[in-house]
Amino acid sequence: MNGHSAGRKSLSPILPGVLAEIAFAIVLGLAGILICAVAIWIAGIS
C-alpha cells in the first residue's frame, strides 16, 4: 500500500471516536464543576 492510498483510509468506524470526544468534553466539564464545588466549599468554611 503506498502512502497515497493509505491517506485515503476511511474514517470509519467513527462512532467510538465520536463518543470518545464527547466523553472527553464531559470530563473537562466535570473537572470545571469540581473546581467550582471546591471554591464554594472553601468560601463556606472561611
Partner 1 sequence: MKATSEWRDLEIVLHYTGKILIGFSFLCLIPAVTSLLFGEYAVAVDFFLSFGAILTVGGTMAALCANGRRPGWMHGMATAGISWIVATVAAALPYWLSGHYLSYLDAMFDVMSGLTTTGLTLIQDLDHVSVGINMWRHLLTFVGGQGIIVLALALFSDTTGGGYGFYVGEGKDERLFPSVMHTAKAIWRISLLYLVIGTGALWLAGIAIGLTPVRAFLHGLWIYMADWSTGGFAPMSQNVLYYHSALYEALTFIFFMVGSFNFALHAAVLRGNRRELLKNIETISFGTTLSLLTMLACWGLMKLHVYPDLIALVRKGFYQLASAHTTTGFMTIYPRQFAKEWGDVAILAVILAMAIGGSACSTAGGFKGLRVGILFKAIIQDTKRLLRPTSSIVVQKYEYHGTRILSEQQVRSAALIVLMYVGIFAFASVAGCLAGFPLLESVFEAASVTGNVGLSIGVTTASIPVGLKLVYIFNMWAGRLEFMAILASFGFLGSFFKKRKV
End-to-end, the C-alpha distance of the chain in Å comes to 65
Cell 502512502 belongs to residue: 3
Q: In one letter, which amino acid is 14?
A: I
- 1-46 positions binding partner 1, by CB under 8 A: 3-4, 7-9, 11, 13-14, 16-18, 20-22, 24-26, 28-29, 31-33, 35-37, 39-40, 42-43
Residues 6+ apart with CB under 8 A from 17: 11
Residues that bind partner 1 (CB under 8 A): 3-4, 7-9, 11, 13-14, 16-18, 20-22, 24-26, 28-29, 31-33, 35-37, 39-40, 42-43
